[in-house]
């Protein structure tokens, strides 16, 4: 079973040379820590920066320089700033190669819910609806089950949707899965996790090929 860093480490392997990548808040933000040094990647933050660098050293924080999670950041050589309309032109216009975001629920047809629990939690969708409606390449990073132990990979989402039939790939603490016409296609197992464990933790239709290899990092 992986922890949050493990999920981020596995997703980092999906990042290719020359990619522009948008990272959501939470586990997705950790992905930047595990991307190989020998490839060129630019991180976009939808509040208006391309070429995001690591957090600043103490004493060098700039209130005019934050990411979409409102955290202080730095920029790397080649970075640029732009307004919000231009930022979403990059996203909607499909100029961003890879979008990694968190989710509360994913359905077997690729529907995603991550912005609202009616009557309880309403934080808003931020840029998530624009991202999932436009991106060609979306990876969801999340735990396989919620705090109550219930599956987050469902036949159908129970929460209000963020986007329809848009998720392609899901990396959880237990598995790597792809959305296929027949349901969640099990691609990889996390170290120490069996196919039986994954079956038990998955409510949606699960397609299990004859060979499900353990994740490589």
Partner 1 sequence: MTWKGSISDTGDFVTWGEDPKRLADMIRKTVANAKEALEGVADGMTLMLGGFGLCGIPENAIAELVRLGVTDLTCISNNAGVDDFGLGLLLQKKQIRKMISSYVGENDEFERQMLSGELEVELTPQGTLAEKCRAAQAGIPAFYTPAGYGTEVAQGKETREFNGKMYVMEEAYKADFAFVKAWKGDEAGNLVFKGTARNFNPCMCGAAKITVAEVEELVPAGSLDPNQIHIPGIFVRRIFKGMRYEKRIEQRTVRQR
Per CB under 8 A, residues contacting partner 1 are 45-49, 54-58, 60-73, 81-85, 87-88, 91-92, 115, 119, 122-130, 133-134, 160-164
Three-state secondary structure call for residue 30: helix
Spatial distance between the Cα atoms of 159 and 105, rounded to a whole number of angstroms: 8
Between 52 and 141, CB nearer to partner 1: 52
Residue 86 beta carbon to partner 1: minimum distance, rounded to whole angstroms: 9
Residue 179 beta carbon to partner 1: minimum distance, rounded to whole angstroms: 15
Spatial distance between the Cα atoms of 199 and 217, rounded to a whole number of angstroms: 23
Residue 208 beta carbon to partner 1: minimum distance, rounded to whole angstroms: 29
Residues catalogued as catalytic? 46
Calculate the CA 9 to chain-centre distance: 12
CA angle, corner 43, sides to 11 and 64, nearest 5?
135
Q: For residue 137, what are the contacts with CB-CB under 8 A and spacing of at least 6? A: 97, 98, 99, 168
Residue 39 contacts residue 62 (beta carbons within 8 Å): no
Residue 194 beta carbon to partner 1: minimum distance, rounded to whole angstroms: 36
- In 3D space, the residue among 46, 45, 170, 47 whose CA is nearest the CA of residue 107 turns out to be 170
Spatial distance between the Cα atoms of 8 and 45, rounded to a whole number of angstroms: 17
């Amino acid at each position: 079973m992986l922890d949050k860093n493990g999920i981020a480490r596995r997703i980092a392997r999906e990042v290719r040379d020359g990619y522009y990548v948008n990272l959501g808040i939470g586990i997705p933000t950790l992905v930047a820590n595990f991307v190989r040094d020998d490839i060129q990647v630019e991180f976009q933050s939808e509040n208006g920066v391309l070429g995001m660098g690591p957090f600043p050293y103490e004493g060098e924080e700039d209130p005019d320089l934050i990411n979409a999670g409102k955290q202080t950041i730095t920029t790397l050589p080649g970075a640029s700033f732009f307004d919000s309309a231009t930022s979403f032109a990059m996203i909607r216009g499909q100029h961003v190669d890879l979008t990694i975001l968190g989710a509360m629920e994913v359905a077997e047809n690729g529907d995603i819910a991550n912005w609202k629990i009616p009557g309880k939690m309403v934080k808003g969708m931020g840029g998530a609806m624009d991202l999932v409606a436009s991106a060609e390449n979306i990876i969801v990073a999340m735990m396989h089950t919620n705090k109550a132990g219930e599956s987050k990979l469902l036949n159908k989402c129970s929460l209000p949707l963020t986007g329809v039939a848009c998720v392609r790939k899901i990396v959880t603490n237990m598995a790597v899965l792809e959305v296929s016409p027949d349901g969640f296609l099990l691609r990889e197992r996390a170290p120490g996790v069996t196919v039986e464990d994954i079956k038990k933790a998955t409510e949606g239709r699960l397609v299990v090929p004859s060979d499900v290899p353990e994740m490589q990092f």
